[in-house]
Amino acid sequence: MSSVPSVLHLVGNTPLFELTKVTAGLSPQVRVFTKLEGFNPGGSVKDRAALKMVSEGLRTGALTPGKTIIDSTSGNTGIALALVGAVLGYPVELVIPENVSIERKKIIAAYGAKMIFSSPFEGSDGAMRMCRQILHEAPERYFKPDQYFNTANPQAHYETTGPEIWRQTQGQVTHFVAGIGTSGTIMGTSRYLKEQNPQIQIIAVEPDDAFHGLEGLKHMASSIVPGIYHEGELDRKIPVGTEEAYETVYRIGREEGILVGQSSGAALWASLKLAREIESGVIVTLFPDFGDKYLSTNLWVGWKEFDKKQERV
Amino acid sequence: MGARVRIPTPLRRFTGGAEEVSADGVTIAAVVDNLEQRHPGLKERLCDEAGKVRRFVNIFVNGDDIRFLNNLETTIKDGDEVSIVPAIAGG
């Protein structure tokens, strides 16, 4: 029999997908690929970091039986920690801004984790502060993976995402484009890729303004800067507007047959901007998750306007 | 007529850091215009060029989304609480 001993064995090794429709009109020497992270068992790239951070906690003895896993999250890390906790038998508590999508709340609840809601006005920084407060009151009860400061977060990508991209592109990758939430994905992946070939360009995608609708992405200049984030390791940042990212999500659905979330739209918009600027290259980006968790969010408010706009073109 | 308007962190740079400000107006549209007079730059963040509320912006009156009320024409009574809630960033 061929089978998988644990759902945790299904984390990583996601497909590399070549985008061939949304890339129409580009130089034929430019190819654009994306890692489909929605294929992770918890449905997002965060499974990689959550698994690594919890495994490191167990290995170092920071996480022992009787303790509860706690962290602040805007959603996907919460889902991933809830899943890992369920499999390994550790209770999980998550501090989440109250306005995260209803789908996320239901998924987290389905894995048996407890949610504590922070102010919707203060976003993920508010959740981070509230989590610190809870931890401060009873530090002995908890293990906090601390995704914004834990080096096991980028390490997960150094050990998995980076090597997968190198292998899947047979070493031909020239540019890596990824959004910044905690920055774990871009920091860890870029370190591995730069070791293989220092010429590979690392491009971060961030919202063009502090006030934006790109759930999951962080506008660094106006946020608590994650401890794992080192801007000097990036070659470039591309700011993306919310509307442009949303419209790119609709295109990915219609043209490529993949329903994604807003952060994937932002990643592809930036990748296509880059693709139009170069003569040749192999651009790899990453779609952090699929779009089913966002059907109730603003992403799909007024999207029929886009239809009308398309018809006029 | 005055409403209390709750301002999310990313917009507090327009309100001198204040979490809550007051604004006059009998509709949300008027409140937004008044906010712009008092805190220049806010309206552009909330509304597009056509004056419509941007898609990713949620405005609530006493906890109810204006999309399910009367949008910008939703009427405001003295002392109503208007909340501006953004999407969620980061990890």
Structure confidence by residue, pLDDT tens digits, A41-64 = 999 999 999 999 999 999 999 999
Residue A108 shares a structural domain with residue A221: no
Asked whether residue B90 is assigned to any structural domain, the reply reads no
Domain that holds residue B72: 2-85
The chain-wide mean pLDDT, for chain A, equals 94
Total number of domains constituting chain A: 2
What ipTM does the predicted assembly reach?
Answer: 0.86
What confidence category does residue B88 fall into, taking pLDDT thresholds of 50, 70 and 90?
low
Asked whether residue A155 is assigned to any structural domain, the reply reads no
Residue A126 shares a structural domain with residue A207: no
Residue A165 shares a structural domain with residue A258: yes
Total number of domains constituting chain B: 1
The CA-CA-CA angle for residues A255, A206, A107, to 5°, reads 70
Chain A residue nearest residue B58, CA to CA: A298
Residue A91 shares a structural domain with residue A225: no
Asked whether residue A312 is assigned to any structural domain, the reply reads no
Rounded to the nearest 10°, the torsion over CA A145, A148, A154, A157 is: 80
Amino acid at B27: T
Residue A190 shares a structural domain with residue A300: yes
Q: Is B17 on the interface with A (CB under 8 A)?
A: no
CA quadruple A169, A174, A176, A177: dihedral sign: negative
Residue A302 shares a structural domain with residue A172: yes
Residues A92 and A68: beta-carbon distance below 8 Å: yes
- Full DSSP string of A265-299: HHHHHHHHHHHHH-SSEEEEEEE-BBSGGGTTSGG
Residue A133 shares a structural domain with residue A169: no
CATH number, domain of B46, equals 3.10.20.30
> Do residue B11 and residue A211 have CB atoms under 8 angstroms apart?
yes
pLDDT surpassing 90 at residue A310:
no
Residues in chain B with CB shorter than 8 Å from the CB of A297 are: 87
**B35 vs B86, residue with greater confidence:** B35
pLDDT digits (tens, 9 = 90+) for A177-212: 999 999 999 999 999 999 999 999 999 999 999 889
Of A143, A177, A210, the position where a domain reaches its end is: A143
Residue A113 shares a structural domain with residue A204: no
Asked whether residue B16 is assigned to any structural domain, the reply reads yes
Residue A35 shares a structural domain with residue A137: no
What confidence category does residue A237 fall into, taking pLDDT thresholds of 50, 70 and 90?
very high
Domain that holds residue A282: 7-39+161-307
Nearest alpha carbon to residue A38 among A188, A256, A298, A307? A256
Residues in chain B with CB shorter than 8 Å from the CB of A222 are: 9-10, 13
* A263 catalytic per annotation: yes
Confidence (pLDDT) at B1: 60
Residue A93 shares a structural domain with residue A225: no
How far from the centroid of its chain's Cα atoms is residue A165's Cα? 16
Which residues have a Cβ under 8 Å from the Cβ of A142 and sit 6 or more positions away? A67, A68, A69, A70, A93, A134, A135
Residues in chain B with CB shorter than 8 Å from the CB of A185 are: none
Confidence (pLDDT) at A99: 84
Report the pLDDT averaged over residues A241-258. Answer: 96
* Rg, Å, chain B Cα set: 12
Is 0.90 topped by the overall pTM?
yes
Confidence (pLDDT) at B89: 57
Q: Which tokens in the block code for residue A68?
A: 């509860």
Chain B residue nearest residue A148, CA to CA: B91
What confidence category does residue A125 fall into, taking pLDDT thresholds of 50, 70 and 90?
confident
How far from the centroid of its chain's Cα atoms is residue B11's Cα? 10
pLDDT digits (tens, 9 = 90+) for A71-98: 998 789 999 999 999 999 999 999 999 8
